[in-house]
Chains A and B, each alone.
Chain A
Amino acid sequence: MRRIIWWLRAVLVLLLITFFSYVLPQHDIARVTRVSEIRTDFSAFNRIFYAQADSGNVDGTTRDIRLIESQRMRSYLFGLIRAGSEQVMVYRNEDTGWIWPPYFKFDSGNLQAEAGDLVSTSAAPRWVAVRHYGWRIPFLTIYPNATAIWPVAGPDVRIIPWFNIMFFLFLAVAWGFLRAVWRQFRQRTVDPALTRVDQTWDGIEAGVTTQKGRIGRWLDTWRSKRR
């Protein structure tokens, strides 16, 4: 039984890690090679990995997606380990709107203009930092959503993920607080109620065994004393 609970917890942790690795912002050091727009039709498989139409527009089944094509400095483990080589990366540039994920990004048009201004070649690279969320899975044709882009000094710049650090600290505090709330609730409300139920039940049981009718007492004379 304990093993099953352990496995359930492990699966839950894995799901959370997957969820947060999609939604939380990450930073890439890259050089923008091109900005473009493509017409995209969504299928049932990849629809969830795209946002909705730009804020203020009608949401259809097909629309033009802004793309930012780049050469990214290859890195692993959320940017902690750097490989030093370049890797192709294509970002999309969509409004997230008011609902999900809570980036409240409405300026994808402006962001596209900024990215277009930062286009460079491998001969004369202009390195930028791209803040994005989401995954690049060519098999499903999904792209991470770029939320901000700004020039940096070179390809070796290290960006510290302040927001993620604060976010996980807040989660830890919230988890501790929830545990305190639950413990208080159990100690002050549940346990006394259970004790009252126990006492009532004990009273009932005692009453059943002591209050016997005449037939019960006659039957007892036939039973052995070891009761």
Chain B
Amino acid sequence: MNFVRLFLFGFAALTVIYVMISLYSRSVRKERLENEWDAAPQSDAPGARDAFIATGMAAYRGSLRRRLILLVYVVPVVLVTVITYLTNAT
């Protein structure tokens, strides 16, 4: 009944937040890679900068930080469970 409404609305809202945080995290990582290269270029070859950034972003795709963003789905569920228990069992 209303639990389904909460689940659907919560899932939609959390997905929006997840996408926002994902894009932000990617953008920050890309900026850091670019600044790292610009501070100390490792080679003068024409495509080297793009290759460096592409390698860095591929490493980011498999990293722990990116998977931690999924906590956006986990934490509210835990919170709701804890609040429900504390409100109703005391």
Contacts and interface: CB of A to CB of B under 8 A. Distances in A.
B31 A102 contact: no
A184 B5 contact: no
A98 B87 contact: no
A26 interface: no
Interface residues of A, number: 19
Contacts of A189: 27
B20 A181 contact: yes
A103 B21 CA distance: 27
B85 to A, nearest CB: 9
Interface stretch (A13-21, A104-112, A136-144): A104-112
Contacts, number: 42
A7 interface: no
A65 interface: no
Contact of B28 (A97, A103, A184): A184
A103 B87 contact: yes
Nearest to A56: B1
Contact of B2 (A97, A148, A185): A97
Given A97-B2, A107-B88, A150-B90, A102 B83 contact: yes
Given A97-B2, A148-B90, A181-B24, A188 B31 contact: yes
A99 B6 CA distance: 6
Interface in A179-209: 180-181, 184-185, 188-189
Interface in A80-139: 97-99, 102-107, 110
A110 B87 CA distance: 11
A184 B80 contact: no
B87 A184 contact: no
B83 A103 contact: yes
A106 B85 CA distance: 10
A104 B5 CA distance: 14
Contact of A98 (B5, B27, B31): B5
A70 interface: no
B24 A98 contact: no
Interface string B1-28: 0110110000000000000110010011
A102 B13 CA distance: 15
Interface of B: 2-3, 5-6, 20-21, 24, 27-28, 30-31, 80, 83-84, 87-88, 90
